[in-house]
Structure 1
Amino acid sequence: MSWDVLLLRLPDDLTSVQEIPADHTPDSLGRRRDVLAAVTQACPEADLSDPAWGEVSGPTWSIELNIGSEDPVGSIMLHIRGSGDDALTPVLRLAEALRCKVLDCAEGDLIAPGQTAGWHTFQQFRDRVVGPSQ
């Protein structure tokens, strides 16, 4: 079970998904090679041996990067597993490097630095359903 967040381009002044115009089509994150370079720069520890499905691991968490094989890259879905607020550090570094926003797919909210509520809510739900992570 993972907590899924989406990295996508939205207007800089947007602070909530409710502000997204109904007819808005997000810009792409960029050419595939440029996106992979940005991922490597933001997270040098990222394993991109499969460039469509990268991975970043920490001491108590892992993040799968569903980059896909399309060029240009429209968005990146992150599948986050484990525990610890430090799991959000690479998520926010990636968003900054790609000049995009982070959408919590469970809560439907944009995630900003210091906001951990969605991650905590997911962990509590997961622990009730499948038991605490190791």
Structure 2
Amino acid sequence: MTEQKSVRKFHFLAVVLGIAVDNIGTLISSGLIGSLYFSMRPELEQDVSAIYSNVALMLFLLIVGLFWTFLGSYLTAKVAKRAELFNAAIIGVIGAGIGFDSILTNDVIPVWYEWVGFIAIIPVALLGGYLALKKKKA
């Protein structure tokens, strides 16, 4: 009887790296964009609701946040070197969990923004993992 070697799918360090890239990148980018926005409009200083009422800015922030999710999941898949889509999807699931918590607890952020981000985050994370896997096979 031959024993099969069990192969672990989950790569802890790769997922931690991806979460860090996603969350830290999003946090820093959002802070810089918000600071720039307020520096160009000093009359709105300290009025965070002004950001939330600016649809174009919110779309830009959404794209920037999803970019960081993409990059985090791409790096997760590259570092994991196994079960790339599985590990990349974990980044999206964690992001969706954070987004769902925000939907339930935060009434300041526009609902459309939260739901678009919630729906898009897992496909974007899978796209990052898919591109890393495709590059690996090439």
Does the alignment reach a TM-score above 0.5?
Answer: no
Q: TM-score, normalised by structure 1?
A: 0.28
Q: Higher helix proportion, which one? A: 2
Q: Higher strand proportion, which one? A: 1
Question: Which of the pair has more CA radius of gyration?
Answer: 2
